[in-house]
Amino acid sequence: MEQVKPHTGATAGFFQLYLPNDRELAASLINRAETSGYSALILTVDSWALGYRPADLQRGNFPQFRGYCMENYYSDENFTKHLAKPPHEDQAAALQHYGKIFQYPLSWADLRWIRSQTSLPVAVKGIQHPDDARMAIDNGADVLYCTNHGGRQANSGISTLELLPGILAAAGSTPVMFDGGVRDATDVVIALAMGATAVGLGRPYAYALSYGGAESLTHFLKSFLAELDLTLAICGFKDIASLKAAGCQQVTDLPEV
């Protein structure tokens, strides 16, 4: 994480925490994120165990078990002290230890503990019900993140756009981030108009990157921003700020016909 942060430039950088069952390691990861200059901590609560993914199983697609995506662990003495050899010398042993600490069912007590460990804003990612939104706020969340993990956990899960109004109502003044099913800029405008503070997209971004690397991704982002600008204009808004200032009536309080 220390090597990645300088490349964010002036853009806010969020550190996504999958809480391990090792408190010393968890505290170290949180401290490193804060010390490195990340703007917020995102606690993922909807993926403590992976869903049944036939395509991933067929391809053996779990990057961590091939040694990828592990450098935050391999560079932390609270992880490596449990190993007889450095992780790059005995990767099998390192991954075996990782498997022991990864699947950890979270509780509200964990959120309170995380809140006590950092001064960074904490966003709880995976909120899908108004009751959980209120509980998250009561237990220390600064931001709610309405998401269904890209629909990759449980098949036939409810869409996040259906969940968003209830989460917003429960959130009050607490910011609400949103993602899941966002495929074009129109989706972004809808979510922002409903009251989301920020909207994330993942799959189109990944598709563009896999198709042609940085050049392809840059083209996609420019096209996406152009579509966003035109969609706002067609809807009668000069920018996102004016859209938000208009409130949710644009979407939810339509007159009956």
Q: What is the CA radius of gyration of the chain?
A: 20
Which residues are tagged catalytic? 149
**Which residues lie below 8 Å from residue 105, measured CB to CB, with a gap of 6+?**
48, 49
> Phi and psi of 239, rounded to 5°?
-165, 180
Q: Are 111 and 118 in contact (CB under 8 A)?
A: no
Q: Chain-centre distance of CA 229, in angstroms?
A: 25
